Amino acid sequence: MKRIGYIIQKEFRQIFRNKAMLPIIFVMPLIQLLILSNAATFEVKNIKFSYIDHDRSSASRSLIEKFEVSSYFNVISDFPSASLANSAMLNGEVDVILEIPGNLERDLVKDKYVKLGIAINAINGAAAGVESVYINQIVRDFNKAIKVELVGQPQSSGLPISIATIPLFWYNETLNYKTFMVPGILVMLVTMITLFLSGMNIVREKEIGTLEQINVTPIRKSQFIIGKLFPFWVIGMALLSIGLIISKLIFDVPMVGSLALMYFYTSIYILVVLGIGLFISNYTDTQQQAMFIAWFFMVIFILMSGLFTPIESMPGWAQIITEFNPVKYFVEVMRMVMLKGSNLEDILPQLLKTLVYALAMNGLAVWSYKKTT
């Protein structure tokens, strides 16, 4: 234990003496959490909206006003013809074109079917889908209001009884995207920092020529590995603590579940990341190589973790691969515990898989360290 304690103290001294490393460890992740949590959004705003009004009636003006008062649309201008509107979309000046047919108001009074023309710039397919939902909602609201205004009687008059459907939004009542994204971004930052630091740790000893000197000392290799990796385990837990504080104070993310359960799972998860970092360092000779390999795996882990895109929407083969992605389980657990208040029994499947992953990766890392040194 004294030998392990000596290595741990030595490692902490090296970390805190390196003035360039401290901002990378603590300041950079916090800035990234603040920026990414505000930038990574599923909402689509400031949609450049234009229209072609062939009717020029009070009904058409009422419909356009619905888009003007919406916080999602920015009404650019109207066009006298479809050709000019299409040219504007081709040049990227507008995102949505609404074409209102002639005799709109007259057909609505006569309770006739009215067809609106909608053109959406769908280069970004996800954004186009969201824009289509916004437009349909506004048109539905307009359709309900205009019947009362033109016909002059309540909408329910003369209609059969219908059951009103009131949606209930569980776990995120305000539909705030930050509530969904902040726990995932916190997972990403904890993973990135601990993986990069642990991946470059042993390699740094190789570059400066002290690794072979340590191997010939009475210090066992298991003691050496524990002493080298434990400081980064502490740093990972500290980053989680700071991130949780920021999530609550700045983003007001609810923390319904147990913090102790969250820290317990994180303590095991960080062992997985440290094992991967050590495994990478055993097969690289320079810190640059370790950084590139760690980044290669990090990109795959993040993109296939369900952080930005639902796993259910991925192809079948990709969903199978995600079962070997530790970041996926950490994202699920963070959201389950923080937002749903899940207990140990609820996260037990993720916990067991993470524990097996930790044992396997650290076992491979220790074995490969012995084989390569």
Compute the radius of gyration of the chain from its Cα atoms.
28
Q: CB of 334 within 8 A of CB of 191?
A: no
Residue 318 in tokens = 């990709």
Distance of CA 224 to the CA centre of its chain: 36
Pairing of strands 47-53, 117-120: unpaired
Give strand ranges (E) for 201-283. Answer: none
pLDDT of 117 reads 87
Beta bridge partners of 51: 78, 98
Residue 264 in tokens = 């317990």
Q: CB of 307 within 8 A of CB of 331?
A: yes
Non-local (6+) Cβ contacts of 354 within 8 A are: 265, 268, 269, 272, 326, 329, 330
**φ/ψ of residue 99, rounded to 5:** -110, 115
pLDDT of 42 reads 65
Give pLDDT < 50 ranges for the chain: 155-166, 371-373
Residue whose tokens read 């990796």: 229
Fold classification of 47-151 is abc type-2 transporter like fold (3.40.1710)
Distance set, CA 352 to CA 172, 281, 290 (Å): 28, 26, 29
Measured CA to CA, the distance from residue 205 to residue 233 in angstroms comes to 19
Instruction: Give the residue among 307, 309, 305, 308 at the shortest CA–CA distance from 324.
Output: 305
What percentage of the chain's residues is helix, strand, coil (to nearest 5)? 65, 5, 30
The pLDDT tens digits of the residues spanning 164-216 come to 344 555 667 666 777 888 888 899 889 988 888 888 777 777 777 666 666 66
Q: CB of 183 within 8 A of CB of 335?
A: yes
Residue 180 in tokens = 């969904």
Please name the amino acid found at residue 100: I
Residue whose tokens read 């991967």: 276
Long-range contacts of 308-317 (CB under 8 A, 24+ apart): 308/40, 308/184
pLDDT of 164 reads 39
> What's the whole-model pTM score?
0.73
- Reduce the secondary structure of the chain to three states and give it as a string: CHHHHHHHHHHHHHHHHCCCHHHHHHHHHHHHHHHHHHHCCCCCCCEEEEEEECCCCHHHHHHHHHHHHCCCEEEEEECCCHHHHHHHHHCCCCCEEEEECCCHHHHHHCCCCCCCEEEECCCCHHHHHHHHHHHHHHHHHHHHHHHHHHHCCCCCCCCCCCCCCCCCCCCCCCCCHHHHHHHHHHHHHHHHHHHHHHHHHHHHHHHHCCHHHHHCCCCCHHHHHHHHHHHHHHHHHHHHHHHHHHHHHCCCCCCCCCHHHHHHHHHHHHHHHHHHHHHHHHCCCCHHHHHHHHHHHHHHHHHCCCCCCCHHHCCHHHHHHHCCCHHHHHHHHHHHHHHHCCCCCCCHHHHHHHHHHHHHHHHHHHHHHHHHC
Return the domain boundaries, the chain.
Answer: 2-40+177-372, 47-151
Measured CA to CA, the distance from residue 157 to residue 149 in angstroms comes to 13
